[in-house]
Amino acid sequence: MIQRIQTIFLLLAAIVSGGLTNVFYLWNASYDSDFTAYESLFNKSMLLKPIGVLFFISAILSFITIFLFKNRKLQFVINRINILLNFLLLGFIVYHVLNLSGETTVSEKGIGSFLPIISVFLLVFANRYIKKDEDLVKSVDRLR
């Protein structure tokens, strides 16, 4: 049953984690102009590589979860893992954004820093509807 509402939320979460992170920049500094998640994969700094990797893993998990519609419990658990992954990603981003120097050089915090929050909200809404489907199936099984 691909045509469920949680599929839309999961697809939007995959688009936010996979596509929009390469469009909107995470931060912009004079020494590192327009830093996106895609650029973090090819950055020489080992501290910035996890940001791109976590965005990619989050997008893949969201996309895989769409096709687990027959196993709602596993779908629910993978979404929770994805939510925790996005909170970890948000922690990495907040750490790096707060360590940007803003006094001597011009640095801007990008809108891409808020994308994990949007992804978390979408995953929470998807989990809510997955839970509703599971409760509906359990109630129908009780009637048999």
DSSP-derived secondary structure letter, 67: T
What's the N-to-C CA distance of the chain in angstroms?
22
Q: Are 61 and 82 in contact (CB under 8 A)?
A: yes
Q: Are 26 and 93 in contact (CB under 8 A)?
A: yes
Q: What is the pLDDT of residue 38?
A: 62
pTM score above 0.75: yes
Q: Which residues contact 110 (CB under 8 A, 6 or more apart)?
A: 24, 25, 26, 27, 28, 34, 35
Alpha helices in 33-100 (DSSP H): 37-41, 49-66, 72-98
Domain architecture of the chain: domains with CATH: 5-143 (1.20.140)
Q: What is the pLDDT of residue 96?
A: 77
Token pair for 130: 């997955």
Flag residues of the chain having pLDDT under 70.
1-2, 25, 27-48, 100-109, 143-144
Backbone angles phi, psi at 48, to 5 degrees: -100, -15
